[in-house]
Amino acid sequence: MTDQPNRTPRSPRSPREPRRATSLPRERGNAWRNWSGGVQERSQLTAGPTSETAVKALVIGASGSGLKVKTVGAGHSFNDIAATDGLRLHLDDYRGLVSVNPETMVATFRGGTRLHELPGLLKPHGLALANQGDVDEQAIAGAISTGTHGTGLGFTGLSAMVKSLRLCLADGSIVYCDERMHPELFAHARVGLGALGIILEVGMQCVPAFRIEATEGAEPVDEVLERFAERSRTADHHEFFWFPHADRAFVKTNRRLAEGELPSPDALPLGAVTRFVDAEIVQNWGHGLAASIGAVAPGMVPRVNQLSAGLMGTRKYVADAHQVFVSARRVRFNEMEYAVPFDDGMEVMREIRRVVEAGDWRVSFPIEVRSAAADDVPLSTAYDRESVYIAVHRYVREPHLEYFGAVEQVLRAAGGRPHWGKLHTMDAAGLAAAYPRFGEFVALRDEVDPQRVFGNAYLERVLGG
Ligand SMILES: Cc1cc2nc3c(=O)[nH]c(=O)nc-3n(C[C@H](O)[C@H](O)[C@H](O)COP(=O)(O)OP(=O)(O)OC[C@H]3O[C@@H](n4cnc5c(N)ncnc54)[C@H](O)[C@@H]3O)c2cc1C
């Protein structure tokens, strides 16, 4: 692969001038842990390059010394996908907006840019992301590399919004790719698992900034399951949280307002209402109430969950889209999430409910259920199929293996595909059967990283070497 000089002009926010890095950094042995604390490691070296020249020099230097290289985003993956004992790179000093094309509404960001920085960077251009997940701490490159998604059957995850990438490959070459230039690399690197190259820049398809009218409240869980498919098809964004042992679920439905459209008269501005996600989930999760009760008195969890669900009334509010999509997660938990075919989603959920009720785990954290449109990204969990996402969570101080294992059996039997950044036990053989274009990804990796410069234990398991 050769460097493609098809550069977009630098904005005034350009990073500091390229600094020639001729040797590996001196920092040594920095300890690192992911958000949940479940993955802890010590790399031999760490570096925070400030230019693509520096990234290139680091990759060449490390691979020449036989060191593996891993770029970490915000460390928000629950598994060891971002772990390394070699050279750990972070792009915290390589962030910001590179350019915006007002005609195509494609905005290009440096790879280390955090999602929570995007609204501020896009605001002067009147743009926003079309959809987002639950939190916005992640680096844009980290989020797309694992297929991060929100909810909405008419919307894809972030990776399918990618229009171009600028990568540093394992041999140090810098490559621009999009649908026309290096289309195969572009297709796969959108969910690249950090295996194909270091993402220096990402061009994201944006939409005109918009507001959302959100309706939230608790409803009987049987009804919520019954109506999920129809509501997902008719509402812009629909999801629910079910606390195991409770007979009600928290439901969240978002309506996108057209430009100039007034919200319903009973929709209050955000700030005048306490959102259920904040009031219940964040406060339960945030203050650790149910979680702590679960840790010391598991027998009380069903009653706490029932009580939380029973207290909920309906609330309606209006706010900028990103404020509605995102909420804080202050208490640490472990999470496993699978995508299953949309039409099977609620049958799978009913089976999970049976398994959870039959087990004697006292689970204080909810199961979250979302949806997404089919997309064309080969390793996207929604590749070529509309999907229901089912995510189970457990407080970090409570054992998750048995509970997740039982639910995972149901999800795998349903042809589920695991979120690449969350806990799961699938290996290359199972994943090859789940993804029609898995072989193409592995072959491309053999071509662009034959020495496995970007390899680690997780990639060995999921890609088979
Ligand atoms: C509280 C919480 C809430 C979450 N909510 C959601 C949600 O709503 N929806 C959802 O889908 N997921 C969700 N996730 C999962 C999360 O979005 C993904 O795991 C995401 O990959 C984390 O991004 P990160 O920047 O922390 O990347 P990391 O975890 O640091 O890295 C993930 C992968 O990206 C690679 N990577 C990072 N930067 C680069 C780069 N510049 N070039 C190449 N590869 C790179 C890493 O090497 C690694 O392979 C959540 C996680 C947490 C902890």
The reply to whether 119 falls in a domain is no
* Residue 91 within a domain: no
Counting beta carbons within 10 angstroms of the beta carbon of residue 379, is it exposed (0 to 12), middle (13 to 18) or buried (19 or more)?
buried
Q: Classify residue 31: in a domain, yes or no.
A: no
Q: Judge if the beta carbon of residue 382 lies within 6 A of ligand 1.
A: no
Ligand 1 atom with minimal separation from the 329 CA: 1
421 C-alpha to ligand 1 centroid (Å): 6
Q: What whole-number distance in Å separates Cα of residue 50 and Cα of residue 86?
A: 20
User: What pTM did the predictor assign?
Assistant: 0.91
Q: What is the DSSP string of 416-435?
A: -EE-TTS-----HHHHHHH-
In a domain, 107, yes or no: no
Which of 230, 193, 227, 132 shows the shortest CA–CA distance to 378?
193
**By residue range, what is the domain housing residue 367?**
211-418
Does ligand 1 have an atom closer than 6 angstroms to the CB of 84?
A: no
Could you tell which of 148, 395, 459 is best to mutate to test the pocket of ligand 1, judged by most ligand atoms within 8 Å of the CB? 148
| pLDDT for residue 327 | 87
Structural domain tally of the chain? 1
Please work out, in degrees rounded to the nearest 5, the angle formed at the alpha carbon of residue 99 by the alpha carbons of 95 and 100: 125
Write the pLDDT tens digit of every residue in 311-324. Answer: 556 789 999 999 99
- At 314 the pLDDT is 77
Give distance in angstroms: CA of 74 to centre of ligand 1: 7
Give the C-alpha separation, 400 to 103, whole Å: 48
- Token pair 């944006």 in the structure block, residue: 206
pLDDT at position 465 is 84
| pLDDT value for 292 | 54
Radius of gyration, CA atoms only, the chain: 22
CA dist 253 to 66, 220, 413, Å?
Answer: 51, 15, 29
Q: 230 and 148 in contact (C-beta within 8 Å)? A: no
Contact assessment for residue 345 and residue 371, using Cβ atoms and an 8 Å cutoff: yes
In this predicted structure, what is the pLDDT of residue 271? 76
Helix (H) or strand (E) holding 304: helix 301-310
Residue minimizing CA distance to atom 36 of ligand 1: 142
Q: 79 with 457: CB under 8 angstroms?
A: no
Residue 75 CA: nearest ligand 1 atom is 30
Domain contains 237? yes
In the predicted model, residues of the chain with pLDDT beneath 50 are 2-23, 26-27, 286-287
For ligand 1, the distance from its centroid to the CA atom of residue 78, given in whole angstroms, is: 9
Q: Is 249 helix (H, G, I), strand (E, B) or coil?
A: strand
Hey, which bits of 115-223 come out as E strands? 127-128, 162-168, 174-178, 198-205, 207-208, 211-220
Contacts of 166 (CB under 8 A, 6+ apart): 52, 174, 175, 176, 177, 199, 200, 201, 202
Max CA pair span of the chain? 65
Mutate to test the pocket of ligand 1, among 50, 68, 72 (most ligand atoms within 8 A of CB): 72
Cα distances (angstroms) measured from residue 166 to each of 52, 108, 110, 190, 363: 10, 10, 9, 11, 43
Q: Is residue 294 domain-resident?
A: yes
What is the CA(79)–ligand 1 centre distance, in A?
10
14: tokens are: 């350009």
The number of beta carbons lying within 10 Å of the beta carbon of residue 430 is 15
Q: Determine which residue's CA is closest to atom 7 belonging to ligand 1.
A: 133
Domain assignment present for 73: no
In angstroms, the CA 284 to CA 287 distance is: 6
The predicted pLDDT at position 364 comes to 84
Distance CA 349, CA 226 (A): 11
Angstrom CA distances, 135 to 76, 194, 236, 310, stand at 10, 21, 19, 26
Q: What is the CATH number of the domain that holds 262?
A: 3.40.462.10
- 402 within some domain: yes
| pLDDT one-digit tens code per residue, 282-319 | 555 544 555 555 555 666 666 666 556 555 567 899 99
Going from the Cα of 143 to the center of ligand 1, the distance in angstroms, rounded, reads: 4
- Cβ neighbours of residue 30 closer than 8 Å, sequence gap 6 or more: 42, 43, 46, 88
Is the minimum distance from the CB of 139 to ligand 1 under 6 angstroms?
yes
* Ligand 1 proximity of 110 Cβ (cutoff 6 Å): no
Could you tell me which residues come within 8 angstroms of residue 398 by beta carbon, excluding any fewer than 6 positions away? 291, 294, 295, 364
Distance 177 CA to ligand 1 centre (A): 22
Per the listing, tokens 């979302």 go with 370
* pLDDT number for residue 331: 86
Ligand 1 centroid to residue 151 C-alpha, Å: 17
User: From the CB of 75, is ligand 1 less than 6 Å away?
Assistant: yes
- For ligand 1, whether the C-beta of 82 sits within 6 Å is yes
Ligand 1 atom closest to the Cα of residue 111 is 41
Q: Residue 268 is encoded by which pair of tokens?
A: 């209050």
